[in-house]
Structure 1
């Protein structure tokens, strides 16, 4: 196409665009960068203030400690004046998204004023990552009565330089009504007076909530916790303080499809209703006195199709689970391993996954114990039924972490190949920059196996430099699939 027909060389090309289109383009920029366009011409002087999304990021949020007090005061004043100016220019022009990231030095009264202005403009997506001086300031109760909010994020992480506390307390004693809220993300924020019913009060006012993320909860105030949301589809619950845990945790979310849970195992799980669950990730830890009981929790997620278990969760299955349920629907299982935790629970777990198709190991190194059975070679087992010989797994993926124990991990891989009769593909991943053992050496070791349980199994060794593919046993040479960048 001829550039002259588009008048690309004309100084008025951009100015001829419709204002609605200019607003849309500017909405993809941080508000401070969008504001710099006001220097382009008289027409552009105030256009940045009418974009549908406002994004304010305190310049001191990441580097306050490297400045003198006078410099901090001046930068905070500049930031506050800038936000006030933009919101003042906004008038009654509606706002879809309002994002605010700020730290100590911005007065909580000023922050409250900005939040209330965003609510006045009908904000639908409110993202607040705030770190104030203490936990005294209450979160504006008007937020919890918004008729427009669809997404609400409250927290202090993702780059703040002021610690994990946000300095905010959500007051749930007042009326909570968020009729349109679908996504709620709370990170390191005090919820009410931290009594057993405060979380339930908050969630009961979210009638169409579909995604809930709770990070940094503190259990030392709570005897029990109940998460009952019939509309919920995704739940992430991560508790940082593993020294305390509630006596009772209830999960009642029949529409939930994704569940991520990180905590010390509770004393009991009286009700776990997750009938629609598709994918779950568990990072549980054993309490100091090991009195927790995860039996009902495991039973409640036993219909899951995709499951991720951390190494510490394997320990929970060993010491805090009376019986591992049957996972009839499970097709993909990922196991994380480390040298501090044994595989005692792994034989029973694999035996109770009759339809498992893909098994993934993140590392193979584990603590050698007397209860691993023939799932590994850390002990010389005799007359012990090998759970691998009846395994339905077709795809085995292993992400190696050699760490100086290449031989033991390689022996474990050989054991899998010699024991799993339905295996169709074994894929081994590792970073050859972190070890002296090249992928060629790994491949040669496996290529020389005299026999395997599944002769048609294809093996692929992938590093950050090359990829090799072959079958065992085979007289043919290894095939170089492709160099990796």
Structure 2
């Protein structure tokens, strides 16, 4: 019987791969790690520099807390020189993704030079996490014909010298703690230059603090967080008919001029009262009206409400709208009043799953009324529970706070009064994070 002799010699199969494929493999590594492959052979010496994705980390966080300032300065100098060399070695080669993390100690002009360099090479994915003391980032960031994804994040308030916005291919825009300008409505200016934008996240973006205006027919996912100061917006305008996911955190506005979320499927809402509104709410007075906003999202199917929003429903909403399509509701039920829950649950006729993230609530005078609070289990049955369509009830973070006996009484009350309840799941959270199923 003839048999073929096995090749027992060592074969460098990876080095025999096409260089384009090797560069693609290296693109999944941080650029500094892939640079070690240059020690393998002459062929590998500069291959890492031609990876379509460049990922540099020159942030102070990477250092050990005990690292001296002199050593940090030396390391940052080496890292920044390394970035310079990589960009030179690449020549005119295109860049698909450029990711940069850098903080204090890195020269601002150098950072701007790197950004402009990759913009000229037609970068499509630009990810900047910069915390610097210098001037603003270059305005060219918002004038790129190649960018598909843009992310700018900072640990302090970082400026961008925006003059014109022209991002014809941009589909994802994420800005966190960025100063865009003053007086003008920069939200509107941004969107006017993004014709195919599908995902927008504006988190603590500082521009006109008195106005929120988001108008786009292309956005499908919207995250807007404006509650970093104590200012109530005068007007709020949402004309986003194709948004399917909304994450909105803000203070209750004076006027909701337009709220159009015709395609909304899932929403996470964290509406707050500012210090003045909260002071008046102590006396039980209505201090605002968020009903127009809630009416604009009432077709949602999955809804998350923060504890702050429960207070807004109590003190800043004349009446609760009907959520006819809502099938899943999550409520942050810790350390807040539950006065708004009876009306809310009563106006969710098709609700199937109800989730409480905590069962510890603030006792108020309305708790003594049968239909004033769902915590009432000493007298009659609240109408919102006796007619509840809920089939699945989940209790999260059970055991985190004191008063476990009261929480058990509340759960018993749910079991006895919710007629269609089929399944109860309790997540018991302690130092060992136990899980209890019932």
TM-score between both structures, scaled by the size of structure 1:
0.83
Contact 1:368 1:379 in 2 (8 A): no
Q: CA contact under 8 A between 1:246 and 1:266: conserved in structure 2?
A: yes
Correspondence for 1:453:
none
Kept in 2, the 8 Å contact 1:58–1:102? The answer is yes
Q: Is the 8 A contact 1:232 1:255 kept in 2?
A: yes
Aligned to 2:266: 279
Alignment check: 8 A CA contact 2:59 2:101 kept: no
**Mapped partners of 1:242, 1:9: distance in 2:** 68
Which of 365, 376, 385 is the aligned partner of 2:374?
Answer: 376
Match of 1:154 in 2: 152
Cα 1:379–1:217 change in 2 (3 A) is farther
Structure 1's 468 and 9: CA in aligned 2 closer, same or farther, altered over 3 A? farther
Check the 8 A contact 2:377/2:410 in 1, yes or no.
Answer: no
The residue number in structure 2 matching 1:258 is 245
Q: Distance in 2 between matches of 1:180 and 1:284?
A: 33
- In structure 1, how many angstroms separate the alpha carbons of the residues matched to 2:305 and 2:110? 44
Q: For the structure 1 residues 218 and 209, does the alpha-carbon distance in structure 2 shift closer, same or farther, using more than 3 Å as the test?
A: same
CA separation of 1:121 and 1:381: change in aligned 2, threshold 3 A: same
**Of the candidates 157, 165, 185, which is equivalent to residue 176 of structure 1?**
165
Map 1:84-483 to 2 at 5 A: 84-134=84-134, 137-156=135-154, 164-167=155-158, 169-172=159-162, 174-192=163-181, 194-218=182-206, 221-290=208-277, 291-339=287-335, 341-372=336-367, 373-374=370-371, 376-378=374-376, 380-382=378-380, 385-402=382-399, 403-433=401-431, 464=434, 468-469=437-438
Change (3 A) 1:80 1:387: same
Shift of 1:14: 1.9
| Mapped contact 2:149–2:173 kept (Cα < 8 A) | yes
Is the contact between residue 391 and residue 420 of structure 1 (CA under 8 Å) also seen in structure 2? yes
How far 1:399 moved relative to its partner?
Answer: 1.0
Partner of 1:38: 38
Confirm or deny: 8 A CA contact 1:369 1:378 kept in the other structure: no
**1: distance between equivalents of 2:30 and 2:250?**
36
Whole-angstrom CA distance in 2 between matches of 1:315 and 1:385: 20
Give secondary structure in 2 for the equivalent of 1:189: strand
TM-score by length of 2: 0.91
CA offset at residue 406 of structure 1? 1.0
Q: In the aligned structure 2, how far is the partner of 1:8 from the partner of 1:416? A: 71
Residues 141, 8 of structure 1: CA spacing in aligned structure 2 closer, same or farther, 3 A cutoff?
farther
Verify the 8 A CA contact 2:227 2:251 in the aligned structure 1: no
> Aligned partners of 1:89 and 1:388: how far apart in 2?
69
* Secondary structure class of the residue paired with 1:36: helix
Q: Distance in 1 between matches of 2:105 and 2:65?
A: 12
Residue of structure 2 in register with 1:459 after alignment:
none
- The SS at the match of 2:205 is coil
Q: Which runs of 5+ in 2 are unaligned?
A: 278-286
The alpha-carbon distance between structure 1 residues 468 and 381, as it changes in their structure 2 partners (threshold 3 A), is: closer
RMSD after superposition: 2.2
Q: How many residues align?
A: 423
Shift of 1:98: 0.3
| SS across alignment from 1:21 | helix
How far is 1:200 from its partner?
1.0
Q: Which residue is 1:480 aligned to?
A: none
Determine the C-alpha separation between the residues in 2 that align with 1:55 and 1:8. 38
* In structure 2, C-alpha distance between the alignment counterparts of 1:72 and 1:356, rounded to whole Å: 56
Encode CA deviations 1:438-471: one digit per residue, 9 max, x unaligned: xxxxxxxxxxxxxxxxxxxxxxxxx736x555xx
Rounded Cα–Cα distance in structure 1 between residues aligned with 2:300 and 2:254: 23
The equivalent residue for 1:439 is none
